[in-house]
Structure 1
Amino acid sequence: MRTGQMKRTSYLAAVPLLFLAIAEAPAADPPRSGHPVFDRAVELVTDNFHDEAALDEFVEAVRREIDDPASPVNAKSAPDRVGEAIDTVLASLDASHVGHFEPDTIEYFELIDIFRFAIRDEMRRLFPPEGEVSYPGIGMIARPQNGARFVSDVYDGSPADRAGILVGDEVLSVDGAPYHEIESFSDKVAKPVEIELRRRAGAEPITLEVKVERLKPLPTFEKAIAESAEMTTRDGRKIGYIRLWTLAARHSMGVVAEALAEGKLKDADGLVLDLRGRWGGGSSDAAELFVGDTPSFRLIPRKGEDVLANVRWRRPVVAIIDEGSRSGLEVFAYALKVNGIPLVGARTAGALLAGRGYLLPDDSLLEVAVSDAVLEENTRLEGAGVEPDLPVPFSLPYAAGNDPQRDAAIEEMRRILARG
């Protein structure tokens, strides 16, 4: 059977996997520290966490934290470190879609936008006057490794992308000061900053000038998906590529469908679909674009332009996965795999629970896993993930923009097309 044209399999009811809200009966009152932020976080977990059996260990962790004189919940001199205590007790749950996020991180703003419906009554207060989430930045994510920070993601079409920042670059400073995700760019919107980077181990630093923008998370993702689309040619055959940064944006799959049906990728002989995302979310039936049975069609009005009503991609597909493929993107990867579409890269995150966001009294964000997710035949991806058919390791430090997983996926597609 031709790749991408094997059996069609239903795999999960179409529910949003990142921001499902479940009403549960409240649990017994948990221990209290007297710190309003910590106590509210504990209360929300005990009332809403999906696995009641895990709460005994959680409550014990809370008691240990409260009884520890050195804990931030007891240290009058360090009330701003309460996040450390919250992180400690959350770790006892050993589950995905559980976390505490403060407004000095990009994660906070991206998740606030994803969970905007759950906290809709607070949006105008948090982001006046219209309640539109935004933050000052350049479209770059850097993560710590081996005592340094390396660029792990550059959003396509972002200021960082246009300036030539590459995945694997070591971030040394911004305007001569240590790098911080938000603080480095605060009060600098529409202004250039100088970012000092090291591209190769032991090499002399380089400095790039990047203009700071006020980024809206979900529109930034939609733009990045569209901007990632490109075509390459191998052995005379056209291979398309597009990166699905998240399913959580309203038009994520619409952007992909448009690129395939009438955009940059419409003439591709085969497609490399990059599922190495930033967040999952979205509807769990998103993979229907590639494995669904319903036919493609468009609406043709008497006057005006045709409208795409249903897009189905019937040509070969190879997908790339790694630990950034999580939540809804893992269901996507699973659906492709059971339909015979090759997966290249590394095991997915194993993070398939449904989360909901809650604001705490200090306006930090608490994510709680409010529902388990089980696929067909009692398959659970939480803690297990989806394994690639073709494992390809990727080393982040000093990658200099090289991407062996993408290269391997393109080569796999070349082989598929060569077989006819």
Structure 2
Amino acid sequence: MRRNRPLLIAVVLALPILSGGALLQSRADRSGPELLDQVLGIVSARFVEQVTPSDLYEKAARGLVDELNDPYSELLTPKQVADFTRTTGGRYAGVGMQIEDQNGVVTISTVFPNTPAERAGIRVGDRVVQVDSQSTRGWSISRVSETITGTPGTKVKVTFARPGVATPIAIDFVRQVIHIPAVPYAIMLENRIGYVPLQRFNETATQELEASIRRLQREGATALILDLRENPGGILEQSLDITDLFLPPGQEIASVRSRNGEVQKYTTRAQAVVPNLPLVVLTGEYSASASEIVAGALQDHDRALVIGATTFGKGLVQSVFTLDGGYALKLTTAKWYTPSGRTIHRERKIENGRFVPDPEPQQRPSDARAADDTIETEASKREKPAYRSKAGRVVYGGGGITPDILVRDDTLTTREQNIARAFAAKTQDVYIVLHDYGLELARTANGNYATTPAHRAEFRRRIGEKGVTVDDTLWNGGTRYVDRLLEQRVARLASGDSTAKRQDIRFDAPLRRAIDVLKQGQTQQDLFTIAAARVSTRTSP
């Protein structure tokens, strides 16, 4: 850890003071406990199937927590408590592969280097069909992940299905601690603009980010882009230390407020490593938790211009209360706030304890998108609660961190969506062809690969052999999408993620806007002035 700071415990362990709230109630308030006692008694005596007393009470307790309709609160069984303690305590190991849900099938999307999965020859596109003796049919991504991971040195057997291979592939893995870098690369863009993607807040995030920034400065960087898009958060202590890199000592980073009004503030402790370098922070709708703490603090202190989309809005604090019998109650007990007083938590529709996601823009009828209030605009942003930054700039609340400049990701055209849907029906086969053909092209790529008509035609032929048929009209309308798939894959296989990112900049609207603003401004104040002028122009009648 970079600085000495009293340990921030994200999960608070506490003992319940009373085992039953009914002890404090007067007779006039006993209708609730009497109702519960009556229901428990009738179910115990008359339900068609026998339920043991212990199961009955657990079901009642679990039902109470479920009815809070909070996706973050849950009653943990003794086994879940053990798993929770293992993963939060650092004894966490896996086999080195990233999985995703592709049309209900758990599929390998990334194989990390120097891991058991790479040594076993696991490939992108392989499907996980069994873990140990259990079929994964119907399993969620989280369940598959939790079953594969475990204590370092222990064994797990995973069975894969591979398109084109008739026999399932069973591999006996020995779990090992997998370190996935928080900063996969850091590169210099045009005009000496440094670009650093921060993908997660793990135990080395601050160290990696600081080292990357110092290297870019030695190479002559005069401005910096910190990319927090797709960063779901992680260790909260790291978010505080990372904010320390940019702000002087004694500045509020965030505060935690509970229902009883108690407030706990967190402040910077050390001299900033990067106090003046013009800074842009990129955010997206999946930037959450620790990402929002960093972005909110830097925006409120006028240390960064925020560009992109409003963040997820995960600003809740969970405490864990130990219970008898090895159980534990994980309960939401407080909220995070930015220095200006904005709540990070974003209220959203919840059904049965789960978030109801907004439909993706490309999934909405085209004639309805312009009027859809779920697509944020500069005009709709101004309808949110307004707050003031330290220098008096207007920043907006309403949950999540709202950017100073809203820039939507490049979206697929209707014709590109059609070809993407055609590929989705045979996702695994397309993945395999893309990987194998990309590997062939990567062997002769000179670092600046561009898709040619011949390469495009060969890719079409190969996926056709796998049963993915695309008519001429559909294919010709989606060539930009196909080119992007091939160029990203070839660049990544030939030269790594940093080269793939350079290749992808022309498809990355928020990053292009950040570069454009930084090219025009010499100081942080210049960036705010440029942003204010652009927003004013876009919203003026």
- Please classify the TM superposition score into its range, dividing by the shorter chain length: 0.5 to 0.7
Q: 1:316 aligns with which of 279, 283, 294?
A: 279
Q: Sort the Cα spacing of 1:157 and 1:181 in 2 relative to 1 into closer, same or farther, 3 A.
A: same
Match of 1:125 in 2: none
The AA in structure 2 aligned to 1:134 is: R
Match of 1:279 in 2: 234
Secondary structure at 1:414's aligned position in 2?
helix
CA displacement, residues 336-365 of structure 1 (integer Å, 9 cap, x when unaligned): 3443422435631x2323223345556565
Instruction: Indicate the structure whose relative CO is greater, using CA pairs within 8 Å and at least 6 residues apart.
Output: 1
Distance 2:151 2:19 in 1: 45
Q: 2:10 aligns with which of 4, 18, 23?
A: 18
CA displacement, residues 308-338 of structure 1 (integer Å, 9 cap, x when unaligned): 9752262433323433512x33222222344
Secondary structure at 2:180's aligned position in 1?
helix
Say whether residues 1:75 and 2:51 are aligned partners: yes
Distance 1:139 1:359 in 2: 33
Distance 1:185 1:375 in 2: 35
Match of 1:178 in 2: 135
The AA in structure 2 aligned to 1:330 is: E
Secondary structure at 1:254's aligned position in 2?
helix
Distance 1:291 1:66 in 2: 57
- Greater per-residue helix proportion: 2
**Could you tell me whether the CA contact under 8 Å between 2:96 and 2:112 is conserved in 1?**
yes
Match of 2:342 in 1: 379
Secondary structure at 1:368's aligned position in 2?
strand
Q: 1:416 aligns with which of 511, 517, 537?
A: 517
**Could you tell me whether the CA contact under 8 Å between 2:292 and 2:400 is conserved in 1?**
yes
Secondary structure at 1:380's aligned position in 2?
coil
Distance 1:82 1:152 in 2: 42
Specify every segment of 5 or more residues in structure 1 that has no aligned partner in the other structure, as ranges. Answer: 1-12, 33-45, 47-55, 117-132, 295-307
Specify the structure having the higher radius of gyration (Cα).
2
How big is the shift at 1:104?
7.3
Q: Sort the Cα spacing of 1:270 and 1:370 in 2 relative to 1 into closer, same or farther, 3 A.
A: same
Distance 1:244 1:146 in 2: 25
User: Normalized against structure 1, the TM-score is what?
Assistant: 0.56
How big is the shift at 1:370?
3.3
Distance 2:174 2:7 in 1: 33
Distance 1:184 1:415 in 2: 44
Distance 2:339 2:152 in 1: 50
How big is the shift at 1:230?
1.0
Q: Sort the Cα spacing of 1:68 and 1:286 in 2 relative to 1 into closer, same or farther, 3 A.
A: farther
Match of 2:306 in 1: 342
How big is the shift at 1:232?
4.2
Match of 2:65 in 1: 90
How big is the shift at 1:95?
4.1
Q: Sort the Cα spacing of 1:252 and 1:346 in 2 relative to 1 into closer, same or farther, 3 A.
A: same
**Could you tell me whether the CA contact under 8 Å between 1:14 and 1:283 is conserved in 2?**
no
Say whether residues 1:231 and 2:231 are aligned partners: no
The AA in structure 2 aligned to 1:225 is: P
May I ask how many residue pairs the two structures share in their alignment?
336
User: Normalized against structure 2, the TM-score is what?
Assistant: 0.45
CA displacement, residues 187-232 of structure 1 (integer Å, 9 cap, x when unaligned): 995879666367xxxx76898998845455xxx5xx4235x33134
CA displacement, residues 266-309 of structure 1 (integer Å, 9 cap, x when unaligned): 66553333351253522664453454136xxxxxxxxxxxxx97
Secondary structure at 1:229's aligned position in 2?
coil
